[in-house]
A and B are shown apart, each in its own frame.
Chain A
Amino acid sequence: MNKSIFRLIFRKMRHNLPQLIGMTLLVIVGAAFFVTLYTIYLSYDRQANHLFETQGYADVTYYGSFDSDDLAVVAQKEGIRQARGRNVRDIRDGDITLRAVGLTDDINTPYLYEGVLPEDSTQCALLSKHARARGIGLGDILRLEGRRLKVCGLVASPEYVYMVQNERAMMAQPERFGVVFVNESFFEEGYGEIVALGDIGKDVAEDLGVTIGAVKTVMQSDQLNKVLFREDLKQIRTFAYVFPLIFALLIIMIVYVMIKRTISMEGRQIGVYKALGVTDARLLLIYITQSAFMAIVGGILGCVVASLLCDTIIGFFSSMFEVPGLAFTFYPTLWGSVILVCILICSFTAIISVRGVFMPMPAELMRSRMPSGGKQILMERATFLWRRISFNTRYALKSTLRNKGRFVAVLLGMCGSCALLTFALGFFNSAEYTQNSYFDDFVHYDALIELSPMPLEMEHPVEQHLDESSRALVLPAVIREKEYPLFVVQDSFDMLQIDTWRTKDGLIITEYLAQQWKVSEGDSLMIGDTEVRVSGVFKQSFGLSLYTSYDYASEVLSDFKPFYNVIFARDTDVGELKTLSREQGFEYATQEDDKRSFASVMESLNTLIWFMLACAVILGLTVLYTVGLMNLSAREYEYMFMGVMGYPIKSIMSAHIKETVMQLVLALPAGFVLGYGILNVVKTAFSGDSFVLSAAIYPESYVYAGIIVIVMAGLIALVSRFRIVRLDIVEGLKVRSE
């Protein structure tokens, strides 16, 4: 019945093929990007929660020193379903830290990839990430404190989705940190931890902690491993939205310009349709089918590309986190909605742009119209200026301003591409800047030594070996239901770039926390039930903590005892520390360790950034190519005419290039600003309680982004030149029937 109309549509599409392919490519990239990240987001959420559930991730964990009576108290508490005692001990051997964790039934049980769980004290199960990093397999022997343990299983653990070694090394390198699950008989009597499952509120759990004399009570949701999981989920989702949003805007714009242009070129034809009695609905069909088709094909291919890409991207992510079963998953609703959104966006834009042809009567449409552009442009009125520029430049200026839609499309394409490049490069810079400003400018110590609490007047033996050192006490401070480390420091403290003198009469806090809590210098804060004064605000990128002096702490905190449990050390021989730590039994972390752990976090982000850079380039090329094609096909006649009149191709090209330069001059600065804006929005998604990303874009990034866009514009100009050269003058003039 509608054979003819579809034949017509099909022919028109074939005619517009290069453009359609370009647009489809945009849809593909946008859809693929979104589907990839969103699939990972959904799958990660599902698999991780599945792991937490099936392996009995402890709802609450108590740290301290417990016996079986304490365990019984916890187990009998209302709301607690199960409780187990266990021991955990870090065993350092050279560069490698192995954490021996006592196995507990039903709670925090390792997930077996391969082998079996240890049955006696001669066996152990090893975190597979560490095993892989060090090439350890089943049956290999591990030496732990002189004991020989045979690796009988390779596992994942709900507690170690992230390689959280401690607060500072939140993503330890798998070659340097591993978790070994051993039989409880590995350890001496008593427990260092009690882990429990059950429905229990934080307050109740903490009260229970006090009852059994726990040093620290940590709910599942506050476990760093869990916090990182939550934050990563959030970030992946943010990334999933940011890019495709820009793509969607560009697609809308290009479809709009493309259809507008087609319609103004085919005005007469549309008049003919109407004269023949084609209804508005049919008319709409002719123009909407093309963009809808593009949306469907692009959407579907995007999903397919995503399904091919997903596992690779997950592989890159696995340096950050790992859960069993995390792989590409087909989510029909996700695919369906993405394809639907593509169709809606494209069709809606098509409707908006076609709208204009419904009103006029066919007679009006069929009257041959004067081509627009006969109008004087503003410059022309400034006659004396106008006369001074060459004909070529005048022509470039005029043709630039003649079709505003196309002009704006190129502008936005350049601008969008430039913005994405600036953003992605800026993200690199921000990571580097954050790292530098923390390690080079903020941190003035080489190692942080953790001890059991000692009275301030007593000297710790290690201090004799340190050139420069400073004592401090780290206390957990609960503010607005969250726990933060509060460092009580001495008056002479200079191991961090903070205004130590400000700590005399209050607390100093980081800018990020100040913003979160909406407090500033001079305001007061509640630590538990104690009101304290904020005496200063400073910048710190990670390990967000609070600082105060011993004087102030003893003034406001009830039963505060002047003890110290950490020593900051500078200019210290780290090699010596290693032996000392073994002899004297303390833990320490070097700045190098922290740096490395930060670097590994950033490394995993690099993947995402490269992915984005690639997308930005594809986006830029596609937009410029598509719009360039439009430009060319609209100008073909004009160029041919110029050719007939003996206007050399060199001049045509130089006009073309001048036009491009004008666009670049406008688009690049706007792109830089936009890129900076996006970075600032995305930055917040990357900031949490433990880490604040400072937005910084180095000048060279602007230069790189600019150069890439210019090179792309140049490439497109070359392609245009190629096409202009090939224009067949005679054929062209004849075919042109409108």
Chain B
Amino acid sequence: MNLYTLKALSKNYGEGDSLVRALRDVYLEIPHGRFAVVLGASGSGKSTLLNMLGCMDRPTAGQILFGDADITAYSKREMTQFRKTTIGFVFQSYNLLPDLNALENVEFSTEMVGLSPADAERALVQVGLSDRIKHFPGQLSGGEQQRVSIARAIAKQPKVLLCDEPTGALDFETGIMVLEVLKQIHREQGTSILFITHSQEIAKIADIVIRLRSGEIMSVTENERPLEPREVEW
């Protein structure tokens, strides 16, 4: 069974003259346990797609099956529950809660699913931030904030990790470090990862590359030999 099965998925924004068809009749299957990349130019509908997959928004038409559960038919409450337990998000603009320090930010999420503060700390160790756990977001660099954000997403051990251009705002070195963390999590925990990027280079580290243009799937290709983050350059 696939992780996600998308059937005739469409999403429109606005109406009348300002109608934007961000996704058009998308059919797609994403298998379990993969490191998949959604590749496309800016405005091609990548974030829109990711939002649909993470129950962050409702599609205009079509269906998304998660396993064999139709998440597009979920009630608001079920969607919230789904986001809480099943999905881990990493955003381009870190989106940490500014009033909480690194550890507390991670705890905020683990606590909700009934995990202990130790789990939160472990996640921070995993992303290599064990010495900064008491720092507030304002006191961390971009790369560090993004790693906290990854820790927050993985600490609750989600089935799927959805990352919306997590390296978009980072310099090369830091970007590589973040990618390595993601790769490592994929390898060690077998978490399915869906990763958005507009960079052809970064796409090379994925098992599957989904190309998107103007809201339509151009191609889905398997990567014979995914590169390690160290090997790519952009």
Query: Is the C-beta of B95 less than 8 angstroms from some C-beta in chain A?
Result: yes
Where chain B touches its partner, the secondary structure class is helix
| Chain B residues whose CB sits within 8 angstroms of the CB of A734 once the complex forms | 138
Contact flag A277-B57 (CB < 8 Å), given A4-B104, A8-B99, A268-B95: no
Taking a contact as CB atoms closer than 8 A, the residue among B47, B77, B89, B99 that contacts A275 in the complex is: B89
Is A272 within 8 A of B57, CB to CB? no
| Chain A residues whose CB sits within 8 angstroms of the CB of B58 once the complex forms | 361
Taking a contact as CB atoms closer than 8 A, the residue among B91, B99, B107, B112 that contacts A15 in the complex is: B99
- Shortest CB–CB separation between residue B131 and chain A, in angstroms? 22
Q: Mark B34-59, 1 if CB is under 8 A from A, else 0.
A: 00000000000001000100101110
Contact flag A275-B83 (CB < 8 Å), given A4-B108, A4-B111: yes
Taking a contact as CB atoms closer than 8 A, the residue among A7, A11, A362, A737 that contacts B57 in the complex is: A362
CA distance A269 to B111 in the complex (A): 18
Q: Mark A263-274, 1 if CB is under 8 A from B, else 0.
A: 000001101101
Query: Is the C-beta of B2 less than 8 angstroms from some C-beta in chain A?
Result: no
Query: Is the C-beta of A525 less than 8 angstroms from some C-beta in chain B?
Result: no
B:43-87 near A, CB below 8 Å: 47, 51, 54, 56-58, 77, 80-85
Is A272 within 8 A of B97, CB to CB? yes
A:1-52 near B, CB below 8 Å: 1-5, 7-8, 11-12, 15
CA distance A212 to B93 in the complex (A): 98
Is B91 within 8 A of A276, CB to CB? no
CA distance A495 to B56 in the complex (A): 86
| Chain B residues whose CB sits within 8 angstroms of the CB of A7 once the complex forms | 100, 104
Contact flag A275-B137 (CB < 8 Å), given A3-B111, A11-B100, A737-B98: no
CA distance A735 to B58 in the complex (A): 33
Is B57 within 8 A of A363, CB to CB? yes
| Chain B residues whose CB sits within 8 angstroms of the CB of A12 once the complex forms | 99
Query: Is the C-beta of A475 less than 8 angstroms from some C-beta in chain B?
Result: no
CA distance A734 to B84 in the complex (A): 31
Taking a contact as CB atoms closer than 8 A, the residue among A3, A8, A361, A368 that contacts B97 in the complex is: A8
Is A4 within 8 A of B107, CB to CB? yes
Is B56 within 8 A of A361, CB to CB? yes
Is B51 within 8 A of A363, CB to CB? yes
- Shortest CB–CB separation between residue A438 and chain B, in angstroms? 64
Which single residue of chain B is at the shortest CB-CB distance from A12? B99
| Chain A residues whose CB sits within 8 angstroms of the CB of B108 once the complex forms | 4-5, 8, 276
Taking a contact as CB atoms closer than 8 A, the residue among B47, B83, B99 that contacts A276 in the complex is: B83
CA distance A268 to B57 in the complex (A): 15
Is B100 within 8 A of A366, CB to CB? no
Query: Is the C-beta of A340 less than 8 angstroms from some C-beta in chain B?
Result: no
| Chain A residues whose CB sits within 8 angstroms of the CB of B85 once the complex forms | 277
Is A277 within 8 A of B84, CB to CB? yes
Contact flag A362-B56 (CB < 8 Å), given A11-B99, A737-B98: yes
CA distance A395 to B197 in the complex (A): 41
Query: Is the C-beta of A526 less than 8 angstroms from some C-beta in chain B?
Result: no
Contact flag A361-B57 (CB < 8 Å), given A1-B111, A12-B99, A366-B95: yes
Q: What range describes how many residues of B lie at the interface?
A: 20 to 34
Query: Is the C-beta of B167 less than 8 angstroms from some C-beta in chain A?
Result: no
Which single residue of chain A is at the shortest CB-CB distance from B89? A275
Which single residue of chain A is at the shortest CB-CB distance from B51? A363
Query: Is the C-beta of A140 less than 8 angstroms from some C-beta in chain B?
Result: no
- Shortest CB–CB separation between residue B9 and chain A, in angstroms? 15
CA distance A193 to B57 in the complex (A): 88
Query: Is the C-beta of B109 less than 8 angstroms from some C-beta in chain A?
Result: yes
CA distance A7 to B97 in the complex (A): 12
| Chain B residues whose CB sits within 8 angstroms of the CB of A275 once the complex forms | 54, 56, 83, 89, 95
| Chain B residues whose CB sits within 8 angstroms of the CB of A1 once the complex forms | 111
Query: Is the C-beta of A204 less than 8 angstroms from some C-beta in chain B?
Result: no
Taking a contact as CB atoms closer than 8 A, the residue among A2, A11, A274 that contacts B83 in the complex is: A274
B:174-197 near A, CB below 8 Å: none
Which single residue of chain A is at the shortest CB-CB distance from B54? A275
Is A269 within 8 A of B97, CB to CB? yes
CA distance A1 to B117 in the complex (A): 11
Query: Is the C-beta of A364 less than 8 angstroms from some C-beta in chain B?
Result: yes
| Chain A residues whose CB sits within 8 angstroms of the CB of B77 once the complex forms | 279
Is B100 within 8 A of A279, CB to CB? no
A:709-738 near B, CB below 8 Å: 734-735, 737
| Chain B residues whose CB sits within 8 angstroms of the CB of A276 once the complex forms | 83-84, 89, 108-109, 112, 152
| Chain A residues whose CB sits within 8 angstroms of the CB of B56 once the complex forms | 274-275, 361-363, 366
Q: Mark B104-118, 1 if CB is under 8 A from A, else 0.
A: 100111011000000
- Shortest CB–CB separation between residue A14 and chain B, in angstroms? 9
Which single residue of chain A is at the shortest CB-CB distance from B94? A737
Which single residue of chain A is at the shortest CB-CB distance from B100? A8
Query: Is the C-beta of A278 less than 8 angstroms from some C-beta in chain B?
Result: yes
- Shortest CB–CB separation between residue A134 and chain B, in angstroms? 66
Which single residue of chain B is at the shortest CB-CB distance from A2? B111
CA distance A362 to B79 in the complex (A): 11
- Shortest CB–CB separation between residue B102 and chain A, in angstroms? 13
CA distance A5 to B99 in the complex (A): 11
CA distance A12 to B100 in the complex (A): 10
CA distance A734 to B139 in the complex (A): 10
| Chain A residues whose CB sits within 8 angstroms of the CB of B80 once the complex forms | 274, 277-280
| Chain B residues whose CB sits within 8 angstroms of the CB of A4 once the complex forms | 100, 104, 107-108, 111-112
CA distance A2 to B112 in the complex (A): 8
| Chain A residues whose CB sits within 8 angstroms of the CB of B89 once the complex forms | 275-276
| Chain B residues whose CB sits within 8 angstroms of the CB of A2 once the complex forms | 111
Q: Mark A259-301, 1 if CB is under 8 A from B, else 0.
A: 0000000001101101111111000000000000000000000
| Chain B residues whose CB sits within 8 angstroms of the CB of A735 once the complex forms | 138
B:134-192 near A, CB below 8 Å: 137-138, 152
- Shortest CB–CB separation between residue A471 and chain B, in angstroms? 85
CA distance A267 to B81 in the complex (A): 21
- Shortest CB–CB separation between residue B188 and chain A, in angstroms? 23
Which single residue of chain A is at the shortest CB-CB distance from B120? A4
Is A277 within 8 A of B112, CB to CB? yes
| Chain A residues whose CB sits within 8 angstroms of the CB of B111 once the complex forms | 1-4
| Chain B residues whose CB sits within 8 angstroms of the CB of A366 once the complex forms | 56, 91, 95
| Chain B residues whose CB sits within 8 angstroms of the CB of A280 once the complex forms | 80
CA distance A8 to B104 in the complex (A): 9
CA distance A70 to B49 in the complex (A): 103
| Chain A residues whose CB sits within 8 angstroms of the CB of B109 once the complex forms | 276
Is A278 within 8 A of B112, CB to CB? yes
| Chain A residues whose CB sits within 8 angstroms of the CB of B137 once the complex forms | 737
- Shortest CB–CB separation between residue B95 and chain A, in angstroms? 5
- Shortest CB–CB separation between residue B144 and chain A, in angstroms? 13
| Chain A residues whose CB sits within 8 angstroms of the CB of B81 once the complex forms | 277
Most buried by B among A4, A271, A272, A368: A4
CA distance A368 to B51 in the complex (A): 15
CA distance A268 to B47 in the complex (A): 16
CA distance A268 to B99 in the complex (A): 14
CA distance A132 to B89 in the complex (A): 79
CA distance A663 to B91 in the complex (A): 42
Most buried by B among A8, A12, A734: A8
Which single residue of chain B is at the shortest CB-CB distance from A9? B99
| Chain B residues whose CB sits within 8 angstroms of the CB of A8 once the complex forms | 97, 99-100, 108
- Shortest CB–CB separation between residue B77 and chain A, in angstroms? 8
CA distance A217 to B41 in the complex (A): 100
| Chain A residues whose CB sits within 8 angstroms of the CB of B112 once the complex forms | 4, 276-278
- Shortest CB–CB separation between residue B218 and chain A, in angstroms? 23
Some 13 contacts from A to B, beta carbons below 8 A apart, are: A3-B107, A4-B107, A4-B112, A269-B97, A269-B98, A271-B95, A275-B89, A278-B80, A362-B57, A363-B57, A364-B57, A737-B98, A737-B137
Which 6 A/B pairs are nearest by Cβ-Cβ distance? Answer: A277-B84, A363-B57, A11-B99, A363-B56, A363-B51, A4-B108
Interface residues of chain B, those whose CB is within 8 Å of chain A, are 47, 51, 54, 56-58, 77, 80-85, 89, 91, 93, 95, 97-100, 104, 107-109, 111-112, 137-138, 152
Task: Give 9 new A-B contacts, CB below 8 A, not counting A7-B104, A735-B138.
Answer: A3-B111, A4-B108, A4-B112, A272-B95, A274-B80, A274-B83, A275-B95, A279-B80, A737-B137
